Chains A and B, each alone.
Chain A
Amino acid sequence: MKVNQNMAEQKRDKIFSRGFKFNIEDRVLLLSVVLIVLVIFFGVTKERFLTVNTIRSMAFQCPEIGLMGLGMAIAMIVNGINLSINDTANLSALVAGLSLIELAPLFVGYEFLLVIIAFLIAIGMGIACGALNGLLIGHIGVPPILATLASLTLYRGISVAVTGGKTLTGFPEELSVIGYQTVLGVPIPFIIFLVVGVLMYVVLEHTTFGFKVRMLGTNPTAAKFSGIDNKSITMKVYILSGILGAIAGIIVMSRTNSVAYEYGTRAYILQALLISVLGGISPGFGSIIGVLLATFTLQVISTGFNMLLLGVRGSSFFKDFSWGIIFIVILIIDHLMHRRRGIG
């Protein structure tokens, strides 16, 4: 009798474990397949798609949104969200841009050093923006969606006030090294994105910090009762998210050689969310590889549609429309998958 029960239990456990692993590994597999199918589809329909130029331009374009996607993802793993990430990027870039202009007279002949200092200032601003979010959410207990919506407004407001709504330009040439140059044919922004992605992967999957982040995201009460310092972890998560935003801001600034308070504000938050969700992030779970693959997938869709619909009227409307559709479809699929897991 006892043996029977054990067998039944083991059988049940096996089913559970299959369902569980299926979910995460399957996401990476699914995204890989979707990515390959899309590349083949666009490659066949548009011969221009699979050229070095197109691929390189996609590699220039995707890092900024990919970095914001990573910043969104880490917030979502602790059961939060960072709606202010795009405005963190813009504000960080703005502070860096202002320092470039203001400090330029002091660094004549040392422009390269100045650029590096400006980047550090941008990262510092990212940390400050993240810390405010962390303070509101972790210490005061404001729901993440409200806290970051409020900080979004604040950061954008500061940017508008400082620039008077104008676009900042006229930076030293050294700035565009990051945005324009390639190493062995690979765009520097893409290299930065991959390096940050690998670091994030190691941090989230293999460090105690990442472990605590996932536990906190799964069950904050149990995390507290297990001795995890929830406030400090939450603070660090939002600071990290802010840093990722700042890096995205730096890349935007050096690619466009300008700073504008409204850069990306129309679509980037939605796309960062989309990347996170498509990448399979949910509270306590999700893989950075999924987020990277989701970034590439969205970039391929975006570039591919652009080529297909070139010259068609209303094509930009169609792009927005397709983001919305993709988002809704993913949410439905995720919901159905979760429900199936729940019944198992």
Chain B
Amino acid sequence: MREELIRVEHVSKYFAGVKALDDVSFSINRGEIRGLVGENGSGKSTMIKIIAGVYEPDRGDIYINGKHYKRLTPIASIQEGIQVIYQDFSLFPNLTVAENIGINRVISKGGRVVNWKEVYESAKEGLSRVGTDISLDAITGKLPAADRQIIAIARALLEDARLIIMDEPTTALTQREIQYLFKTIKDLKKQGISILFVSHKLNEVKEISDSVLIFRDGKKVLDQEAEELDIKTMEYYMTGRRIDTSSIAYSEPEEAPPLLKVKNLNLNPYFSGISFELKPKEVLGITGLLGSGRTELALSLFGELPAESGEIWLEGKEIFIRRNQDAIKEGIAYVPEDRINEGLFLEQPISDNLIVTIADYLASKLGIISNQAKLKTAEEWVDRLEIKTPSVENPVSSLSGGNQQRVVLAKWLASNPKLLILNGPTVGVDVGSKTAIHELIRDLAKQGMGIILISDDIPELIQTCNRILLMRNGKIAEEFQREKVNEEELHRHLVAAKS
């Protein structure tokens, strides 16, 4: 019963002379879960947009349900049952669940008066198809990311979706929520709905997909059953090189007085009674589910959410942090989770982004920054972190995700911090940059910088940290030594934390 739903043949797409897609062909069958993998800039998003009818291919043909298209329009694509769920889910956070799910159908019907009964009924129908019991009256923005994802899926199903394209669906989800999503996807498969699962998290793609497509530089480089693939092979096809994650040189923490000592730190309602120490040259991991207080703890060390009580000691001296500037003055740097909004000035030149934390230091007594000094400093950091750009005066928005993250790191390293707090430093970053960032973290630790790494990427924690703290309901629940814990065990403890 291998019935073909969509076939793409020899599709090419150029942007201003640059090839984004180069002669790509593939097909998706009914009820098939297709993984689509590739680094940033490999052509994944362009392909999604061609199938969704947003972009017109320069060459090639598309067949859907046997019907031939030279190009699709968004409306034609929807009518053929193709639904895309983008990373942000495109929901209205201020509306209720029922409104988000049901409103489309009512609007597409036309008519000027909203029939609320109908809205509720179709919303209920949508939710029942994904088998969930989210309240219809809940405000969407207040729900966890996983629920919002399910709502987006329910909405897609009501549009008679036959192919649901999910763009990086697990980025905002915790491990447990990912399992929930996978269960939903498998249910959809049983209903005969096809899924295109677009991601660069290889283990997830391997776990959920029937077959895997890999794109690199706009070309399809691999199209194979998931069962026959291992992660190493996928990495190789994705990046074009072998990545060695095994040879990790740890720096043993020094048996010296702690670099950072946190005593009984409290901030209602986020966390309470937090005490821990960080030794010089140590990488300390902090993990926990969303809402465990891990991000708030980091923010309070950085002065963004000052703690209500408790002590923070840095290099044997008690410090008082009431705002960001206090933390920076003490030598604490924070690389935020949301680099686009909190870390970068996207439209501004790379150089300006790199010197933002040291502008005062670079300037003369009169507050004048010489252009030369600025460019020189910026170029040094571009070299040191191997940021790929032809000029430091290009806007940061011209960089790929991995290179953008290097800019955020560099801007904080430029301030020469004593303590570097990294919150999800490799989220949304390609495999190559991820390895480079991990190497950098260990290098910095070796040079004596104290590092706190907040992450829920378990392999990342095990590979990079000396010690891992697990937070649960605003408290440090458990502590693991790297050499005494493996991925499965840590995963089990992390998921068990939700109770």
Q: Which residues of A contact B (CB under 8 A)?
A: 1-2, 4-6, 8-17, 20-21, 202, 206-209, 211-212, 214-215, 218-219, 221-229, 284-285, 344
**Distance in Å: Cβ of B251 to nearest Cβ of chain A:** 28
User: Contact: A13 with B398, CB < 8 Å?
Assistant: yes
User: Contact: B357 with A227, CB < 8 Å?
Assistant: yes
CB of B363 within 8 Å of the partner chain = yes
User: Contact: A17 with B391, CB < 8 Å?
Assistant: yes
List the 5 shortest-distance A-B pairs measured between CB atoms, nearest first.
A16-B398, A227-B328, A218-B345, A1-B240, A17-B394
Across the A-B interface, how many residue pairs have beta carbons closer than 8 Å?
A: 114
CB of B310 within 8 Å of the partner chain = no
If A215-B345, A219-B346 touch, does A207 touch B400 (CB 8 Å cutoff)? no
CB interface residues, B 382-422, toward A, < 8 Å: 388-391, 393-395, 397-400, 411
Stretch of B105-113, B336-344, B467-475 at the chain-chain interface: B336-344
A98 to B345, CA, bound (A): 46
A305 to B341, CA, bound (A): 47
Q: Which residues of B contact A (CB under 8 A)?
A: 15-19, 41, 216-218, 240-241, 304, 324-325, 328, 334, 336, 341-348, 352, 356-357, 359-360, 363, 366-369, 371, 388-391, 393-395, 397-400, 411
Tell me the nearest residue of chain B to A2, going by C-beta: B240
SS class of chain B's interface: helix, strand, loop or mixed?
loop
A229 to B322, CA, bound (A): 13
User: Contact: B359 with A10, CB < 8 Å?
Assistant: no
Tell me the nearest residue of chain A to B343, going by C-beta: A222
User: Contact: A17 with B390, CB < 8 Å?
Assistant: yes
Contacts of A209 in B (CB 8 A): 367
Contact of A225 among B240, B241, B304, B395 (CB under 8 A): B304
A222 to B394, CA, bound (A): 18
Contact of B342 among A17, A21, A218, A221 (CB under 8 A): A221
29 examples of A-B residue contacts, CB within 8 angstroms? A5-B216, A8-B18, A8-B41, A12-B18, A13-B389, A13-B391, A13-B398, A16-B395, A20-B395, A202-B368, A206-B368, A207-B367, A211-B359, A215-B352, A218-B345, A218-B346, A218-B348, A219-B341, A219-B344, A222-B341, A222-B342, A222-B345, A225-B334, A225-B343, A226-B356, A226-B357, A227-B325, A284-B347, A344-B16
A9 to B348, CA, bound (A): 18
User: Contact: A207 with B217, CB < 8 Å?
Assistant: no
If A218-B347, A218-B348 touch, does A13 touch B390 (CB 8 Å cutoff)? yes
User: Contact: B347 with A225, CB < 8 Å?
Assistant: no
Contacts of A223 in B (CB 8 A): 345, 356
A14 to B15, CA, bound (A): 13
User: Contact: A226 with B397, CB < 8 Å?
Assistant: no
A188 to B393, CA, bound (A): 39
Contacts of A15 in B (CB 8 A): 16, 18
**Distance in Å: Cβ of A203 to nearest Cβ of chain B:** 9
User: Contact: A225 with B336, CB < 8 Å?
Assistant: yes
**Distance in Å: Cβ of B56 to nearest Cβ of chain A:** 13
User: Contact: B341 with A285, CB < 8 Å?
Assistant: no
Contacts of A21 in B (CB 8 A): 393
User: Contact: B360 with A224, CB < 8 Å?
Assistant: no
Tell me the nearest residue of chain B to A228, going by C-beta: B356
Contact of B352 among A4, A17, A214, A225 (CB under 8 A): A214
A36 to B292, CA, bound (A): 64
Contacts of A9 in B (CB 8 A): 41, 388, 400
User: Contact: A16 with B19, CB < 8 Å?
Assistant: no
A12 to B15, CA, bound (A): 9
User: Contact: B369 with A2, CB < 8 Å?
Assistant: no
Contacts of A8 in B (CB 8 A): 18-19, 41, 217-218
User: Contact: B394 with A207, CB < 8 Å?
Assistant: no
User: Contact: B217 with A4, CB < 8 Å?
Assistant: yes
User: Contact: B360 with A208, CB < 8 Å?
Assistant: yes
User: Contact: B357 with A14, CB < 8 Å?
Assistant: no
A215 to B353, CA, bound (A): 9
A15 to B411, CA, bound (A): 25
A4 to B219, CA, bound (A): 12
**Distance in Å: Cβ of A268 to nearest Cβ of chain B:** 30
User: Contact: B334 with A208, CB < 8 Å?
Assistant: no
Contacts of A5 in B (CB 8 A): 41, 216-217, 240
User: Contact: B345 with A284, CB < 8 Å?
Assistant: yes
Tell me the nearest residue of chain B to A341, going by C-beta: B347
Contacts of B346 in A (CB 8 A): 218-219
